[in-house]
Amino acid sequence: MIEPTVRIRPARGWEAIDFRELWEFRELVVFLSWRDVKVRYKRAALGIAWAVLQPLMSMIIFTVIFGRVAGLPSEGLPYPLFTFAGIVPWQLFSASVSSASNSLVGSAQLLSKVYFPRLIIPLASVGATVVDFAVGLLMLAALMAWYQHAPTAAVFFLPLFVLLALIIAVGIGLWTSALTVRYRDVQYVLPFAMQVLLLASPVAYSADVVPQGAMRVVYAVNPLVGLIQGFRWTLLGTEPPGSTIIVSIAAALILFVSGLMVFRRMEATFADVV
């Protein structure tokens, strides 16, 4: 008796993820990401300049309002440099989440005409934001050179924090993309939620303003807290994130795994309702 190549069954609630199949379709993730990047910059009049302008404008605004007017402390660093090291991972996160959440609805045509693991779609949309992130990192390097601020040996941990950023972004992206297919309202709630999250993350201010102890642990449940602290530590040599990073990593992993499970559960009906 030969094993069938494909076995089709009714959907049955929680199902395991077929990582082997996902791996077989790895090229498609790359192609779709590449398409998103290409189309985005072909259409925009300023092209790649947007990837530079966006974080730059944020930095200027934060520097003026939070640095100058409010006079928030910046752990002894020049405020623009301090905030920019938070803006870069924040933008990777926020761009990934917003493009992932619209990705399935935007690919309705594809979903109803051809099969591939549905996970590919939000993954590819996150992949497309990595280009902007790379531009952001280069700008940060330029800014560090400008302020003559050399990185410490901690810079070797940077890839781990990039990975953490992607895990958080994909985790939330899976939740929101799957929910958006069912409830389009998510699209309206999301921008507001992102604003709240920006204020709840140490992008414009230092996590040190939150007292150590129980408060800090609760604060670190927002995985972006550990992430952004980690970025500053690896690049600018500020205080290492300490125990908050454990809480943040745990929160990130819970988001990621639950996101995968929810997505997997809901994907059976995507083609029918999208």
Partner 1 sequence: MSHVSIRVDGIKKQYRIGETRAAFRYGSLRDSIADAVAAPFKRQREAARYIWALDGVDLQVSTGEVVGLIGRNGAGKSTLLKVLTRITRPTAGTAELYGRVGSLLEVGTGFHPELTGRENIFLNGAILGMRRTDILRKFDDIVDFSGVSEFIDTPVRHYSSGMYVRLAFAVAAHLEPEILLVDEVLAVGDAAFQRQCLGKMEDVSRSGRTVVFVSHNMPAITRLCSRAVLLSAGKIADDGPADSIVARYLASELGSATERTWSEADSPGNDDLRLRRVSVVDETGKVLESVDVRKPLGIRIEFDILARKHRFVPGITLTSDQGQLIFTAFDTNRMWRDPQPPGRYVSTAWIPGQLLNEGTVSVSVALGTFSPGGKTVRQAHANDAVAFQVVDPGEGDTARGDFPGIWTAPVRPLLNWSITQS
Distance of CA 160 to the CA centre of its chain: 14
Contact between 205 and 51 (Cβ < 8 Å): no
Q: Which is nearer to partner 1, 8 or 153 (CB)?
A: 8
CB of 121 to partner 1, least distance (A): 11
Contact between 63 and 197 (Cβ < 8 Å): no
CB of 20 to partner 1, least distance (A): 14
DSSP 258-270: HHHHHHHHHGGGH
Binding-site member from 13, 16, 43, 213 for partner 1 (CB under 8 A): 43
> Site map for partner 1, 21-40, x if CB under 8 A?
----x-xx--xx--x--xx-
Q: Which is nearer to partner 1, 5 or 148 (CB)?
A: 5
As to burial, measured by CB atoms within 10 angstroms (0-12 exposed, 13-18 middle, 19+ buried), residue 4 is exposed
| Residue 2 contacts partner 1 per CB under 8 A | yes
| Residue 272 contacts partner 1 per CB under 8 A | yes
- Please state, in angstroms and rounded to a whole number, the distance separating the CA atoms of residues 130 and 44: 18
Binding-site member from 13, 20, 23, 109 for partner 1 (CB under 8 A): 109
CA atoms within 13 A on the CB side of 175: 15
CB of 148 to partner 1, least distance (A): 42
| Residue 45 contacts partner 1 per CB under 8 A | no
Place of tokens 């910059």: 41
Binding-site member from 49, 57, 68, 112 for partner 1 (CB under 8 A): 112
CB of 25 to partner 1, least distance (A): 8
Q: Which is nearer to partner 1, 88 or 179 (CB)?
A: 179
Q: Which is nearer to partner 1, 32 or 126 (CB)?
A: 32
Residues 78-97 that bind partner 1 (CB under 8 A): none
Q: Which is nearer to partner 1, 35 or 68 (CB)?
A: 35
| Residue 13 contacts partner 1 per CB under 8 A | no
CA dihedral 6, 173, 35, 135 (to 10 degrees): -140
Q: Which of 208, 209, 25 has its CA nearest to residue 121?
A: 25
Applying CB under 8 A, the span of 90-98, 129-137, 221-229, 264-272 interacting with partner 1 comes to: 264-272
Residues in the chain: 274
Binding-site member from 56, 197, 221, 268 for partner 1 (CB under 8 A): 268
| Residue 20 contacts partner 1 per CB under 8 A | no
- SS3 labels along 135-189: HHHHHHHHHHHHCCCCCCHHHHHHHHHHHHHHHHHHHHHHHHHHHHHHCCCHHHH
Q: Which of 150, 159, 160, 151 has its CA nearest to residue 233?
A: 151
| Residue 6 contacts partner 1 per CB under 8 A | yes
- Please state, in angstroms and rounded to a whole number, the distance separating the CA atoms of residues 127 and 114: 21
Chain contacts with partner 1 (rule: CB under 8 A) = 2, 4-11, 25, 27-28, 31-32, 35, 38-39, 42-43, 109-116, 183-185, 188, 268-269, 271-273
